Amino acid sequence: MADRDPPGPASDACGCDAFASIFDRRTAARDRERYERDGPDRTTRLLLELLAPYRSTGASVLDIGGGIGIVDVELLRAGAGHAVLVDASTAYLDVARQQARQAGVLDRIEFVEGDFVRRADTIERADIVTLDRVVCCYHDMEALVGLSSERAGTAYGLVLPRDRWITRVMIALANLTYRLRRRAYRAYVHPTTRVDEIAAGNGLAARAERQTWIWRVVVYDRAVAAGASA
């Protein structure tokens, strides 16, 4: 296990300060307590179920915006070999280290602090790349999805808001609350058709999908895209 130090102090340019205002130590501790009590959240469980066919022994994982490392721990326990967890919140990474140590997988996780888009050129490809409720946190979806999907060797798993009016209203109300509380953080509902197009441009096609009232859970597959192309 190794940590990579971010290049210089956190910067507003990447939104890292905004992330820290929401994803702080209290929230990280609450997320850990909920995970230890109830296991993964529903959408995370759905994502893990869709990724089950890819959990071959030794598979590498790149978990972007991985928070306290639930996806990493679960995939490593299921047979994956090594994981890289990238997150902009120092508080969440601290809890992720504790969680990994408790799960006995600390030596198989590398922690990278910072904004993935800014650090992408230093991060290698992985068999499985995941963004669990991360696309909705990032303003530049094109860059985030483009750079992350490029790094998926086999499977690319996303949990993101469904692109429909009721979700947009809910996100707008949440953003109003952040604004009234003088929080810099904002959430986004990005066009899911555009997400699909970017993934397709990087050689990935949707293989499996589940939906809740708010969330779309989808796994893209490089082999499926190659077969369709052939």
Domain-wise residue ranges, the chain: 3-229
pLDDT for 3: 55
229 confidence band (pLDDT: 50, 70, 90): low
Mean pLDDT of 94-122: 96
CATH number of the 3-229 domain: 3.40.50.150
Compute φ and ψ for 61, nearest 5 degrees.
Answer: -125, 135
Mean pLDDT of 166-186: 93
pLDDT for 28: 92
Mean pLDDT of 136-164: 97
Residue with tokens 């597959």: 221
Report the side by side order of strands in the sheet with 126-132.
3-4, 109-113, 82-87, 60-64, 126-132, 152-161, 215-221, 205-211
Q: pTM score > 0.85 for this model?
A: yes
Paired with 109 in beta bridges are 83
Q: Judge contact between 188 and 137, C-beta under 8 A.
A: yes
pLDDT tens by residue, 187-208: 999 999 999 999 999 999 999 9
228 confidence band (pLDDT: 50, 70, 90): low
